[in-house]
Amino acid sequence: MKQLFIFATALVAAPLAAQNEDLGQPIQEGGEVETVMEAEDSEGLTFTITDETALEDLGIAIPGFATDADVATPANQNGTAALGKELARVITADLRNNGLFKPTGPDALPQPSFPEINAPNWPTWSNRGAEMLVHGYVRARSDNRLTVGCYLYDMALQQQLVREGWVVQPADWRRAAHKCADLVYSRLTGESPFFDSRIAYIAETGPKDNRTKRLAIMDSDGANHRFITTGRSTALTPRYSPDYKKLSYLSYVDGNPRIYVYDIGTGRQTLVTQSDNPTFAPRWSPDGRYILYSMAVNGNTDIYRVPSTGGTPQRLTDAPGIDIGGSYSPDGSRIVFESDRSGGQQCYVMNSDGSNPRRISFFGGRCATPEWSPRGDQIAFTNSSSFNVGVMTPSGGSVRILTRGWQDEAPTWAPNGRIIQFFRTERNSGKAGLWQVDLTGENERRLPTPVDGSDPAWGPILP
Amino acid sequence: MNTRVATGLMLASTIALAACQKKAPEELPPPPTQTATPTPTSPTGPTVGSQQHFTDAVGVANTVVYFDTDQYNIDSEDSAKLQVQGQYFSQYPQLNFTVEGHADERGTREYNLALGERRANAAKNYLVSIGIPANRIRTVSYGKERPVALGSNESAWAQNRRAATVVIN
């Protein structure tokens, strides 16, 4: 390791080596996912659900995916037949964990044969309490990639509702499962997909007064977990770029809190702006062209915008006090941010050039960490008086508190704007974990992580 | 673990004692001749430029100033402590040092980073106002990332809302 560091120092300028000191090995990302079949024409469709509560009891049978020939694949050491069962298990977990459906997985069901995938053996699946049936197949291609097909059937109508297929690299087999879960979820709820996405967060270990905080990434279900930083320096508040090629986050790698932009493919990182001042709270614009960050000058913190490819920063706020954070509306025209210009923390909306700032939160508590929903219709925030996560409209109306932990903070939206992820800290121990809650506030669950977690940032649907 | 608790209790009682008084006269630094004896042959004892030397000279309670929730103003107790620090740094003009700003855990992470920076700057600005050159003082905010008191209660939070002065070489 030391040798590697010396080698790197010899190659590049010393400051760059210093700021890369905390990084692990670059991560090899998987390949593209190619969609090979269009969804079937939806004529003759009769099953539509608009009320989410009706979905809670919707039984979905998800037997193992069939394979035409059980052959070796890098995706599973036991071959494509075993992989077919794994695919169904991932889909089952996806659909169960968001609290909307009652899926039954492959371990409690018979295994359909390959020809049955597009001609289900209906008597096998009736009387199992399932209104919906998912079938699928996995096939190893000669080019080493996998084709995964996904079919949703209505048991009562004995009819296919939707189907789609994807060609993936063996390493990306879970993405095919998530895409199938997304297909089923979207068809049954009318909502946009969200499973085929990733989460960046801070992995925490160690005692409360000496926590090790590492930048880490994982799939939306917690799989494919990888650490980006080694933990020698404290890392905080990551955000994925919309194309998933970069991560911006705060690191103390040079001893000061500064925002870096880490290129996932090359493993190199750069400062978001060349300044000796501390920088906080990175945020990407929805089109990825800009990064918002906050910078303290002589103790006064303002929000700035800089082209993500580099360039001259533009200062967006100038009120005395702490202006920090900032989250773009989905169309990029406005920014919601927090400021203590009126005393305590409150949420404000301004135009994306910084003009016309106005306070939107008047619910009585303090408003912090506002995040605009990808759908545009809601803003999630931390009530930093009671430390709960809530939502309100972009004009500050219809405030609803969704969580009840001792200290919940830092909401981040699922790509479809239906689920909010945040982190919850326990009293005294300071241990933190990632949690999810839906917009009803009723379906709350902890997202399992290998160690404690905080500062989650949910990226968009993967490209 | 027991040592840490004991240290924490000692620290807490020291602070409580200091808080009861308008000033902390018994925490005044010992006369410089006592610690900085001109005999360079003595290998024992902290050297100038070390945190230990600074702490011994000004008294540990004077190395840290405390703030109310969300506040960053320097009150009379804080200014008394910073004046003691100022005397020390005037006496050793070769020393550069850092003011670390901190916040308690009952704040959101990013706001607390900015708040810690604001507190560190408030202490720095006071030191500059009494004659310490600004280019000798570095500030750094740790927000709520480095608490000294580990409980989740008012007393612990009061100890964590602080600006701590640290001597660096």
Residue A102 lies in a domain: yes
What residue of A is the nearest CA neighbor of B123?
A: A299
| Residue B108, helix vs strand vs coil | coil
Q: Residues of B with CB below 8 A from A299's CB?
A: 72, 117-122, 125, 139
Which CATH number belongs to the domain containing residue A447 in this structure? 2.120.10.30
In chain A, the number of structural domains is: 2
Neighbours of B125 (CB within 10 A): 17
Q: Residues of B with CB below 8 A from A369's CB?
A: 108, 110
Angle at A147 between CA A145 and CA A151, to 5 degrees: 160
- Closest-CA distance, A222 to chain B, in angstroms, reads 23
Residue A22 lies in a domain: no
Q: Which amino acid is residue B106, in one-letter code?
A: R
Residue A460, CB half-sphere, CA atoms under 13 Å: how many? 16
H or E stretch covering B157: helix B154-160
Residue A224 CB burial class (10 angstroms; 0-12, 13-18, ≥19): middle
In the DSSP assignment, the letter for residue A458 is E
- Same structural domain, A162 and A204: no
- Same structural domain, A226 and A141: no
Put simply, whether B118 touches A (Cβ < 8 Å) is yes
The Cα A364–Cα A28 span in angstroms is 48
Neighbours of A220 (CB within 10 A): 26
pLDDT tens across B87-141, in order? 999 999 999 999 999 999 999 999 999 999 999 999 999 999 999 999 999 999 9
Interface pTM (ipTM) of the complex? Answer: 0.90
Q: Residues of B with CB below 8 A from A410's CB?
A: 108-109
Number of H helices, E strands in chain A: 5, 30
- Same structural domain, A136 and A242: no
Query: Is A325 in contact with A370 (CB distance < 8 Å)?
Result: yes
Q: Report CB contact under 8 Å: A299, B118.
A: yes
Put simply, whether A340 touches B (Cβ < 8 Å) is yes
Residue A21 lies in a domain: no
- Same structural domain, A277 and A388: yes
Neighbours of B41 (CB within 10 A): 5
Where a domain ends, among A166, A189, A212?
A189
Residue A207 lies in a domain: yes
Query: Is A293 in contact with A279 (CB distance < 8 Å)?
Result: yes
- Same structural domain, A94 and A229: no
Q: Report CB contact under 8 Å: B110, A325.
A: yes
- Same structural domain, A77 and A161: yes
- Same structural domain, A128 and A266: no
Domains belonging to chain B, first-starting first, are 48-168 (3.30.1330.60)
- Same structural domain, A325 and A411: yes
Which CATH number belongs to the domain containing residue A110 in this structure? 3.40.50.10070
Q: Residues of A with CB below 8 A from B72's CB?
A: 299
| Host domain of residue A96 | 34-189
Angle at A92 between CA A417 and CA A81, to 5 degrees: 130
Residue in A47, A290, A37 with CA at minimum distance from that of residue A164: A37
Residue B34's pLDDT band (boundaries 50, 70, 90)? Answer: very low
Neighbours of A266 (CB within 10 A): 10
* Mean pLDDT, residues B143-156 taken together: 98
Spell out the per-residue pLDDT of chain A, length 463, in tens. Answer: 344 343 333 333 445 556 677 887 776 656 678 887 543 333 333 334 444 455 668 999 999 999 999 999 999 999 999 999 999 999 999 999 877 899 999 999 999 999 999 999 999 999 888 999 999 999 999 999 999 999 999 999 999 999 999 999 999 999 999 999 999 999 999 999 999 999 999 999 999 999 999 999 999 999 999 999 999 999 999 999 999 999 999 999 999 999 999 999 999 999 999 999 999 999 999 999 999 999 999 999 999 999 999 899 999 999 999 999 999 999 999 999 999 999 999 999 999 999 999 999 999 999 999 999 999 999 999 999 999 999 999 999 999 999 999 999 999 999 999 999 999 999 999 999 999 999 999 899 999 999 999 999 999 999 9
A225 Cβ contact list (under 8 Å, min separation 6): A216, A217, A218, A449, A450
pLDDT score at A33: 80
Residue A19 lies in a domain: no
- Same structural domain, A325 and A181: no
- Same structural domain, A183 and A251: no
- Same structural domain, A259 and A319: yes
* Mean pLDDT, residues B6-12 taken together: 42
Q: Residues of B with CB below 8 A from A280's CB?
A: 110, 113-114
Where a domain ends, among A189, A207, A237?
A189
Angle at B157 between CA B86 and CA A337, to 5 degrees: 95
- Same structural domain, A229 and A182: no
Residue A18 lies in a domain: no
B70 Cβ contact list (under 8 Å, min separation 6): A340, A344, B107, B115
Residue B27 predicted with pLDDT over 60: no
Enumerate long-range contacts of A336-340, CB under 8 Å, 24 or more apart.
A336/A360, A336/A370, A336/A371, A336/A372, A336/A379, A336/A394, A337/A303, A337/A370, A338/A367, A338/A368, A338/A369, A338/A370, A338/B111, A340/B70, A340/B111
Put simply, whether B157 touches A (Cβ < 8 Å) is no
Single pTM value for the model: 0.87
Residue A248 lies in a domain: yes
Where a domain ends, among A138, A168, A189?
A189
Structure tokens at A181: 């879960």
Report residue A380: phi and psi, to 5°: -90, 150
Residue A8 lies in a domain: no
